[in-house]
Structure 1
Amino acid sequence: MTTDDVLAQVFLNSFEQHKPQLLGRRIWLACSGGRDSLSLAHLCQQLFNAGKLPFLPQLLHINHGMQQANAAWADQVSTWAQQNQMPCQVLKINLVKKTEQEARQARYEAIIGVMNHQDVLILGHHQDDQVETLLMRLFNGAGVNGLSGMKEWSIKSSQNQQGTQKNIVLWRPLLTISRQQITQYADNKGLTYIDDPTNVALQKSNLNPDQLNDRAWLRSVLLPHITQRYPKAKQAIARTGQLMQEASVILDEQSSLDLSQSIINDRAFCSVLDINQLTRLSTARQSFLIHSWLAPTATDLPPSRRLVEEVLSLAHRKDSNHQTCLSWDSGRYQYQIRRYQHKLYRLWDSWEQWLQLAPTTHDIHIDVEEEIAPCLLLKPLSTEFEWSVQGLTGLIAELQQQLTVLIDAKAETDREDIKSIAWSKETKLIFQPLPRTQKIALPGRVGRKSGKKLLQALDVPSFMRQSVVLCSLQLSPLCSEQQSIPLLIITPEQTMVLQSPFSQSIAQLVEDKALVAELHDL
């Protein structure tokens, strides 16, 4: 089989593997004009013309202005695409810092900017690129996931300033093909490709080794020495990357299982881990779980080993100090890592700040026949979060019915909590920040508590204590000695029905989800 046939077969095999995900999507191809991307573009054109490929990708070329020749390269790619009847779009970007890392990030941002959600971008990465990537990650101390290298099929996520997330697919069909095979293909087809002087071999450039970027140095200096001693080193390194990918899948599956068994509540702005469940795992599994928990999405940067160790140290502390706060910038969100009792919290900075805003006080008269708003905001509506109570109509109807029954039963009972109840036009439902001095009787517990002891009994973390709402039934002082009957306590994490003559019926509303407190990030 010729080199041309090998490339075509490898590409078609990859296409068949991902065909269900490819059909119906728009396909793009990142084309720098180098031998790799130009050969891939030519291969797609040939397979399309032969009826073996059902799509012809649109080429995307980035002019990042880092070199004087960039404009000429853009013209060269555009001319080639026009001559070969392939659609092509040139994107010009302006770099603040002209570094390889910034250029790479800016290229992806520009490309994602013109692509639609779930579009597919074909990349010309090959086996030699994979080997260089693995070595660079090895020298930077990467773990199993990092040493799995580039994946043939992966998701790239981006978020705009409005917070809308866009996911595109990166498809690398030629990862098993060597640079030498691609060069042979390009030469066989007479392709006039571009040689970037920062990437070409040392002997073909006028640069000394110290002037080369890291990838070019690996390619031109280190790998020739390695392959001279170990001729099949590239294939072996690439094979190790494949084995690491398989190991990474196994670790991810185990970590997902561990996480599902340890997670108490998992929302983007507030995720809670059960420390008791976490510490039952082996040390290695604890570390891997925390690593995954700190970076919940593909767009989050991986946390450092030091941060993972600090979080584990926080989880294993035996003292009662709950003031420690670890900061973590994932690249997507600013997080705080906190502990309270036997729980670990991963919080958005913005949510922790929102928690300190005082709840809104609402008075709702229950004797007035008027339409009740379906949604009662517990805090002023912000640009990021909405906290509300749904189902007030049912709650008020239940209170009206229960009050009627209790008032009718007053003469036939010795219960003091019922004998003091009266209903007037001044009777109202009040939602307010929990008064720290008010003594509350919790269900199933003896006595009443207030202030810090009450919040501790409710298991409310210190950083949430500004966001505790008391719902009570306010009776007219002219008709009753008992002016207020606490009904509910609502926190961002729970709704608790308090001991009262109405507790049974209210508890049924909560259980049936006819009365719910909801917290959303907007």
Structure 2
Amino acid sequence: MLDSLAAALERLPPAPRWLIGLSGGLDSHVLLHGLHVLSGGRTLPPLAAVHVHHGLSPHADRWQTHCESLCRDLSIPLRVLVVDARPATGESPEAVARAARYRAIADAMEPGAILLTAHHRRDQAETLLLQLLRGAGPAGLAAMPRLKPFGPGWQARPLLDLDRDTLADHARKAALTWVEDDSNADPRFDRNLLRQSVMPRLRARWPSLDATLSRAALLQAEAQDLLAERAREDLEQVRGRVPGTLSVAGLAGLRRPRLRNALRGWLQDKGLPMPGRARLESLIEQMLKAGSDAGPRVAWEGAEVRRYRDDLYAMRPLVPVDAGRVWQWTPTAPLRLPELGITLDPAILRSHWALDPSTLTAPLTVRLRRGGEVIRWRGQTRSLKKLLQEAGIPPWERDRLPLIHVDEQLVAVWGMLPGSQD
């Protein structure tokens, strides 16, 4: 077991620290113990452990105490993170707890650090079958990668080539102790049902099931790498007029499978959640068939795609703002507008709008567009609406641009710089 673990660790990128995900169960205790043993004869990055207290089980405090005892005996620092993992109505308890756990760990990691988790070959086989039952494509069927970007660093699974029986044998020989999560016996959870009722029958017929399914996951990962490479090539050819956007005309020239693949790659590059197949098809139909002035929008949880002219924009859902909101700004210091994701810098007023804050006798008034505004633009009085259209600013952004007034006169539009427009 230790030789396989050591070989997996040698393939990891350099890191300032290795952070061990420690639940207190058999798998994570074996990983913790194995790393401690290896650190005695090798130069490893500094080790630390992290335990997430979900607060969902009445035994959670006992699990934390157990992890503290393990780390104290091995002189490995432990950080305990307390999270609220209570699911809302209709949410999966497993998914909510997993998301809360990983979010807390990512927030606690230093840049470049590697989170080591104790997933093994049996976990990989179960994940592949679960993804297959959910109708996943190659990305899902690739199951769990050995190494992937995570938070400000990486997540690695150095035990992924080992069977759980191998881990259990190591635990017995090393006289390790561990806790059992009673929720792992609850058949209401999909993975538990698969683990308790389905996988044993499959293994009885096909003893090499775990190794075979893990190999299938690896083949799917290779296929996904090829699809990602093709997506990058296609995205280079269909770039939109605005950086980060895609050209509708360019996308229309792709065959439907390549079009879907390119859109998935684009959304992934932006860190946005993937839409389901039906929503992706709806996106394609609406965006490609709409008129250039229609401005369609397709949204799903955590993301939305909009069209303006020939360009597609993908983003997090915009937070609604009060169109009647007014801010008073004394421009001796920046003004933060968190609802807009903007900070107004006094230096911009001086460098781009020739407005000297030191000459002002009263605070500036900052508003959002209400319609009918005019502004002095390169020696002429112009309609703001026409200027925004000529600048190619999408409609949803126009209503979120801070308009800066002296008294009642519009003197500057944040995001439109006179010196940068044709």
TM-score tier by shorter-chain length is: 0.7 to 0.9
Q: Which residue of 1 aligns with 2:32?
A: 41
Matching of residue 149 in structure 1 with residue 127 in structure 2: no
In the alignment, the residues of structure 2 paired with residue 297 and residue 455 of structure 1 have an alpha-carbon distance, to the nearest angstrom, of 26
In structure 1, distance between residues paired with 2:172 and 2:389? 74
Post-superposition Cα deviations, 1:338-380, rounded to whole Å, max 9, x if no partner, equal 323322233555489699999xxxxxxxxxxxxxx9xxx9xx9
Q: Which residue, 149, 160, 182 being the options, matches 1:175?
A: 160
| Aligned with residue 240 of structure 1, among 210, 213, 216 | 216
RMSD: 4.1
* AA at the equivalent of 2:18: I
Contact 1:328 1:337 in 2 (8 A): no
Q: Could you give the per-residue CA deviations for residues 467-509 of structure 1, whole angstroms, max 9, x where no partner exists?
A: 899xxxxxxxxxxxxxxxxxxxx996x989xxxxxxxxxxxxx
Corresponding position of 2:250: 277
Q: Is the 8 A contact 1:326 1:338 kept in 2?
A: yes
Q: CA deviation at 1:14?
A: 1.8
Q: State how far apart, in whole Å, the 1-side matches of 2:81 and 2:304 are.
A: 38
Q: What's the counterpart of residue 9 of structure 2?
A: 15
Per the alignment, residue 206 of structure 2 pairs with 230
Task: Provide the rounded CA distance (Å) in 1 between the counterparts of 2:34 and 2:265.
Answer: 39
Aligned equivalent of 2:361: none
Indicate how the Cα distance of structure 1 residues 455 and 78 shifts in structure 2: closer, same or farther if over 3 A, else same.
closer
Distance 2:104 2:290 in 1: 49
Fraction of identical pairs, as percent:
25
8 A Cα contact 2:149 2:155, kept in partner: yes
CA distance in 2, matches of 1:452, 1:82: 66
The separation in 1 between residues aligned to 2:66 and 2:316, in whole angstroms, is: 47
Aligned-partner Cα distance in 1 for 2:67–2:401: 62
Mean Cα deviation higher: 87-96 or 304-313: 87-96
What is the 5 A alignment of 1:109-124?
109-124=103-118
In 2, Cα distance between the equivalents of 1:322 and 1:15? 53
Question: CA 1:21–1:466 in structure 2 vs 1: closer, same or farther (change >3 Å)?
Answer: same
Which digits, 9 at most, give the CA deviation of each residue in 1:84-139, with x for residues without a partner? Answer: 33323333444433922222222223333433233221111100011111111111
- Partners of 1:227 and 1:325 lie apart in 2 by 48
Select the residue among 91, 105, 125 that pairs with 2:81: 91
Q: What is the SS of the residue equivalent to 2:138?
A: coil
Secondary structure of the residue that 2:245 maps to in structure 1? strand
Whether 1:253 aligns to 2:226 is: no
Alignment partner, residue 344 of structure 1: 312
Q: Which amino acid aligns with 1:232?
A: S
Aligned residues of 2:240 and 2:312 also touching (Cα < 8 A): no
SS at match of 1:59: strand
Name which one, 1 or 2, has greater alpha-carbon Rg: 1
Question: In 2, Cα distance between the equivalents of 1:462 and 1:115?
Answer: 39
Equivalent position of 1:63 in the other structure: 53
Counterparts of 1:458 and 1:79, CA distance in 2: 63
How many matched pairs?
386
- For the Cα contact (< 8 Å) 2:267–2:273, is it kept in 1? no
Q: Which amino acid aligns with 1:216?
A: N
Report the residue type matching 1:80 in the other structure: L
1:127 aligns with 2:124: no
One-letter amino acid of the structure 1 residue matched with residue 163 of structure 2: S
TM-fit CA distance, 1:460: 5.8
Amino acid at match of 2:110: N
SS class of match (1:198): helix
**Residue aligned with 1:86, SS:** coil
Contact 2:292 2:310 in 1 (8 A): no
Change (3 A) 1:341 1:395: closer
Aligned equivalents of 1:194, 1:109: Cα separation in 2: 24
- Distance in 2 between the 1:226 and 1:135 partners? 12
Q: Bigger shift: 88-97 or 346-355?
A: 346-355
Letter in 1 for 2:31: L
**Contact map agreement 1:34 1:194 (CA 8 A) in 2:** yes
Name the SS for the 1:141 alignment partner. coil
Among 73, 76, 80, which residue is 2:63 paired with? 73
CA deviation string 1:196-250 (max 9, x = no partner): 23336xxxxxx6xxx4421121111111111222222211110011111111111
Contact map agreement 2:241 2:311 (CA 8 A) in 1: no
Contact conserved, 2:86 with 2:97, CA < 8 A, in 1?
A: no
Kindly provide the amino acid, as one letter, of the partner of residue 382 in structure 1. L
What is the rounded CA distance, in whole Å, between the counterparts of 2:44 and 2:385 in structure 1? Answer: 67
**Structure 1 spans left out of the alignment, 5+ residues:** 1-6, 158-166, 201-206, 359-372, 397-432, 441-448, 470-489, 497-514, 518-522
Once the two structures are superposed, the pairs formed by residues 320-469 of structure 1 within 5 Å of their partners are 322-330=294-302, 335-350=303-318, 382-383=337-338, 384-385=341-342, 461-463=394-396
AA in 2 matched with 1:346: A
* Aligned counterpart, 2:366: none
1:373-413 CA distances to partner (integer Å, 9 max, x unpaired)? 9xxx9xx97342368997987999xxxxxxxxxxxxxxxxx
Correspondence for 1:292 among 241, 247, 265: 265
Structure 1 pair 314–88 and aligned structure 2 pair: CA distance change class (3 A): same
Distance change (3 Å), C-alpha of 1:37 and 1:451: closer
Q: Give me the whole-angstrom Cα distance separating, in 2, the residues matched to 1:257 and 1:451.
A: 39
Question: What SS is found at the alignment partner of 2:128?
Answer: helix
Equivalent AA in structure 1 for residue 9 of structure 2: F
1-side partners of 2:55 and 2:391: how far apart?
60
Whichever residue aligns with residue 339 of structure 1, its letter is R
- Check the 8 A contact 1:45/1:56 in 2, yes or no: no
Hey, what's the Cα distance between the residues in 2 that align with 1:243 and 1:356? 56
Distance 1:322 1:42, change over 3 A: same
Checking the alignment, whether the CA contact within 8 Å between 2:287 and 2:296 is kept in structure 1 is: no
Output the CA distance in 2 between the equivalents of 1:95 and 1:491.
40
In the alignment, what sits opposite 2:363? Answer: none
SS state of the match for residue 195, structure 1? coil
Structure 2, unpaired ranges of 5+: 355-368, 403-412
The equivalent residue for 1:107 is 101
The worse-fitting range, judged by mean Cα deviation, of 68-77 and 232-241 is: 68-77
The alignment status of 1:188 with 2:173, answered yes or no, reads: yes
Pair 1:140-2:134 in alignment: yes
- Per the alignment, residue 405 of structure 2 pairs with none
Q: 1:275 to 1:219 in 2, by over 3 A?
A: same
Conserved? CA contact 1:355–1:464, under 8 Å = no
Displacement after TM superposition at 1:297 (Å): 3.8
Residues 356 and 71 of structure 1: CA distance in aligned 2, closer, same or farther (over 3 Å): closer
How high is the TM-score relative to the length of structure 2? 0.76
